[in-house]
Structure 1
Amino acid sequence: MPVHLESHDPDVDLTPGTTKSDIVGFLYRNDEYGYSPQEIRDELDIPHSTAKVTLKRLYDTDYIDKTPDGYYHARSEREDLYRYTAALDGLDRMFTDHEEGISTDDSEQTSPDLDTAKLTDDDIEDAVGIIDEDK
């Protein structure tokens, strides 16, 4: 699949919805704090072994940093990961706004657009562009 050269970042190898992505998103949304592995596990509700392995991999690949006493935090110089997190937040807002427009009183009621809705690469790029403009 072709990539848009202006927005393509080969250094970000994350897939939304994975533990790796969730941890990066959490730490970059809360970049003024450092978190212990236990706090991250509790906040994201992930198993101990999964958190331990994922935190180590993220640290070893310079996605996140760690204080000498073991608190994990965002790396301030990783603008690409701030953009990634902002794009995730923008997509989340788009879907949340769409879902709030649908009545949940009648479980049989559905939006005709919901069944055929597709998120294109252009939609994602537009969301990232809007978020970048807000900075």
Structure 2
Amino acid sequence: MPVLLKDHDSDLELRPGTTKSDIVVYLYQNPEWGYSPQEIKEALDIPRGTATTTLKRLHDDDYVGKTDDGYYYALSERDDIRRYLSSLNQVDRLFGHHRDADATPEEPETQLGAGRTDEELDAELAALEGELNE
């Protein structure tokens, strides 16, 4: 996938769909709040050890901040991460409905050709093809 060079930051090591990315996205979507590792574990449904280790690495790499009493938060000066989050949001708005796990197939009565026999559909198709060939 190509990248827009004016917004590209090769030092930003985040890949969508990873725990690291998920935690960063969660914190930066809620920048006014600080979260404990336990709260992030519960919000993202990840193992506690994974949450703790990933948060420590994110803090060490200056992706997130940490209060003296152990709450992690988004850093206001990280415009590169805000651009990353914005890009993810745009992709989700464009394509998110295509991967919706809770989406149900269309009801039979709303599907094209519903309620008609194969013979009726074949006859309608033949008539349409005939019109195109005229």
- 1:82 aligned residue: 82
Alignment: residue pair count: 107
Instruction: For 1:105, give the aligned amino acid.
Output: E
CA distance in 2, matches of 1:99, 1:47: 24
- 2:106 aligned residue: 105
Cα distance, 1:103 vs structure 2 = 7.1
Alignment deviations for residues 81-119 of structure 1 (CA, whole Å, 9 cap, x no partner): 01111111111111135568x972259x7xxxxxxxxxx
Instruction: For 1:46, give the aligned amino acid.
Output: I
- Could you tell me the percent identity over the aligned residues? 57
Extract unaligned runs of 5+ from structure 1: 110-135
- 2:27 aligned residue: 27
Cα distance, 1:4 vs structure 2 = 4.0
CA distance in 1, matches of 2:43, 2:64: 17
Scaled by the length of structure 2, what TM-score is found? 0.71
Paired residues of 2:7 and 2:83 also in contact (CA < 8 A): no
Sort the Cα spacing of 1:16 and 1:2 in 2 relative to 1 into closer, same or farther, 3 A: closer
Extract unaligned runs of 5+ from structure 2: 112-134
Paired residues of 2:64 and 2:75 also in contact (CA < 8 A): yes
Q: Whose Rg is larger?
A: 2
Scaled by the length of structure 1, what TM-score is found? 0.70
User: SS of the residue aligned with 1:23?
Assistant: helix
